[in-house]
Amino acid sequence: MIPFLFFVAAAATLAGGLGVVLARNPVHSALFLVMTLVSVAVLFLIQDAELVAAVQVIVYASAIVVLFLFVIMLLGVDRQESMRDRIPYQRPAAIALGVILLAQLLWLAGHEWVTGQETASGVPIEGGGFGGNVERVARVLFTDYMWAFEITAVLLVIAVVGAVVLARRSGQKGEPVDDVDEAATEGVDA
């Protein structure tokens, strides 16, 4: 089973890497990067490096790629996008998946988390656990340093929203934002 998983993850890594380079749309390229990073995380899991795999998914496949997507979207603000849905059932499917995710999060809020720590309203459920260094890091991160972790997340979200507001405000003054000096181009016309 392990060799099969290795070859599937290796093929997905190579396909994602080629997709990053060959995709014409930068958003598609970022999604191929997510595919590559998750496939590399699977390769780490095969090697029994659970902590590195978790860091690979949490830091790189989620946080870094989200920042890439923000930059891509900020650079492409001046392009007009079609509001027509290419896939007719995409919005209802996204709403349904969002409701399912919200239901799962609400259900987990009343039960034991992965670290084994009880929630405010729940009782511990027996069994489960990762073991090893991942369990120790998760327990410390989500029990002793939970508020610092959450406050850092809120500060990062505020910083991203502030950057988006500042970027949109600088482009809405009625003048195009160019890097070309107008004084240098006046002498070229003569």
Cβ neighbours, 10 Å, residue 63: 13
Q: Where in the chain is the domain with CATH 1.20.120.1200?
A: 1-78
pLDDT of residue 8: 94
Q: Provide the pLDDT confidence category of residue 24 given band limits of 50, 70 and 90.
A: confident
Min mean pLDDT across 36-50, 111-125, 136-150, 163-177 is at 111-125
Give the C-alpha separation, 63 to 156, whole Å. 10
Class of domain 1-78: mainly alpha
- 28-78 residue pLDDT tens: 888 899 999 999 999 998 888 888 888 888 888 888 888 777 777 776 654
Q: Between residues 123 and 51, which one has the greater pLDDT?
A: 51
101 CB-side CA count, 13 A = 6
Give the C-alpha separation, 110 to 141, whole Å. 20
- The mean per-residue pLDDT over the stretch 139-164 comes to 80
Check: CB of residue 32 under 8 Å from CB of residue 20. yes
Min mean pLDDT across 80-84, 97-101, 144-148 is at 80-84
